[in-house]
Amino acid sequence: MCEALDQLFASNQISRRPQDLAHWGKDRTTGFTVAPSAVVFPQQLSEIVELVKLANRDGLKLVPSGGRTGLSGGAVASQGEVVVSFDRMHRILDFNPADRLVRCQAGVVTATLQNFAVDHDLYYPVDFASSGSSHLGGNIATNAGGIKVIRYGLTRDWIAGLQVVTGSGAVLECNRGLVKNATGYDLRHLFIGSEGTLGFVVEADVRLTAAPEPQRVMLLGVPKFRDILAVLGQLQKAVSLSAFEFFSELALDKVRAARDVGRPLTDPCPFYVLLEFDESSLAAASHAFEHCLAEGWVVDGVLSQSDAQAASLWALREDISESLSPFAPYKSDISVRVRDMPGFLDDVNKLVDAQYPEFEICWYGHIGDGNLHLNILKPDDLDGEAFYQLCHAISPKLYELVAINHGSISAEHGVGLLKRDFLKYSRSASEIDLMRALKGVFDPNQIMNPGKLLV
């Protein structure tokens, strides 16, 4: 079976070197075994089709791999799988201004697409801290969200067409960039968010939009967690927000320590809100800020006076994840409907205080979308595996709260290996049965990304 793989790929397109297996066999998660048998670098569709046929014939298991920035273990190869890297399929193939569509290979880096849009006086609004290395294919596989969802939606909202290779080797052109297409099941949307369990995303038609007007950034100090929601309500009434993020003082501490930057406000504050809006609504935003101040929801604030200042305020939020990585955090990425947030926040706070009294908890996230990132930091004196097991064992309690609030155990990072055991807290038994049945239709021999999403 190894020989067949070597016949399919040129020697510079396949590696079994231990350092390559370690590098391409994982994403940004820690704690999972990394043990692929090979990594291959296809350059064209036909190689992927042949590889899938070979895998079906010889029982190989395949793990699609993009920018490896995932946080749920969706691109980890633990059991001798062949990693299929899209590093060499990184070209922008076509741009059609009439449709504002860009045809991309799956390995196009998110920032490359964003820059391409700017070069054509347009905008690709899906954005997050890992834009400089994440691949479009991975964004599609996890339906990635990020910092502009409150105005622009998720990756799903920008994908107008997909070329995929199913787990049985069929090549599908889904939707072909159409705006309107009322011809039954939209298979494109099954692949978006499928975490590589149904097949490979090879190319995509991505929709661009008009460039936004200049933006302003405000950073506010909010003493009480619950009041963040009141601030959101006030600002939403006043302006059209393009971002509404929050983070805790502990998160800020970690960024300041890692990046050696100063405080954004004179005094420390338990929580901070970072929001972005159109410059033309500055007066309305300032008015809303005054109101929040008068109500005591906000104690201080700063407004960006230049693009450079806006960028440095954004860095305080966007650098959190990376600044926390030395602490091997156990991550939760949960969401509820915004209307359920206040009660949910109280419940989660109580739970966290009761269950994790000895751990440092870093709160941050896209609170305007109802999305919280809860990072539990590993104490120095605790072994990694013991820490993981401890956190994993407590997770059901958190996810029960999520379930009671009809929320999601994974808002934007995907299920992967990390949350697979907890899927039942967000999806019913009937849904999971149907998901498994769908997997069987697209990937009858179960060659695609084994162990991810579904047990």
Which tokens go with 210?
């008009």
452: contact with ligand 2HG by CB under 6 A: no
The residue type found at 143 is N
As a whole number of angstroms, the distance between CA 159 and CA 404 comes to 32
68: contact with ligand 2HG by CB under 6 A: no
Q: Tell the smallest beta-carbon distance from residue 148 to ligand 2HG (Å).
A: 11
Q: Tell the smallest beta-carbon distance from residue 365 to ligand 2HG (Å).
A: 6
Q: Tell the smallest beta-carbon distance from residue 153 to ligand 2HG (Å).
A: 16
313: contact with ligand 2HG by CB under 6 A: no
Q: Which of residues 320-339 bind ligand 2HG (CB under 6 A)?
A: 320-321, 331
Burial 339-370 (b: 16+ CB within 10 A, else e): eebeebbebbeeebeebbeebbbbbbbbbbbb
Q: Tell the smallest beta-carbon distance from residue 306 to ligand 2HG (Å).
A: 24
3-state secondary structure of 335: strand
As a whole number of angstroms, the distance between CA 375 and CA 350 comes to 16
As a whole number of angstroms, the distance between CA 335 and CA 412 comes to 9
Nearer to ligand 2HG, 149 or 448 (CB): 149
110: contact with ligand 2HG by CB under 6 A: no
- Sign for the pseudo-dihedral over CA of 259, 264, 269, 270: negative
Q: Tell the smallest beta-carbon distance from residue 438 to ligand 2HG (Å).
A: 27
419: contact with ligand 2HG by CB under 6 A: no
Which tokens go with 147?
């910092």
3-state secondary structure of 39: strand
Judged by CB under 6 A, which of 129, 288, 313, 418 binds ligand 2HG? Answer: 129
Q: Tell the smallest beta-carbon distance from residue 360 to ligand 2HG (Å).
A: 14
76: contact with ligand 2HG by CB under 6 A: no
Cβ(376)–Cβ(357) below 8 Å: no
Q: Are strands 159-166 and 360-366 parallel, antiparallel or unpaired?
A: unpaired
Which tokens go with 406?
């009809």
Nearer to ligand 2HG, 35 or 250 (CB): 250
* Apex 345 CA angle, 407 and 453, nearest 5: 30
Contact mark string toward ligand 2HG, 366..405, x via CB under 6 A:
-------x-x------------------------------
Q: Tell the smallest beta-carbon distance from residue 81 to ligand 2HG (Å).
A: 25
How many residues bind to ligand 2HG according to rule CB under 6 A? 8
Chain positions contacting ligand 2HG, by CB under 6 A: 71, 128-129, 320-321, 331, 373, 375
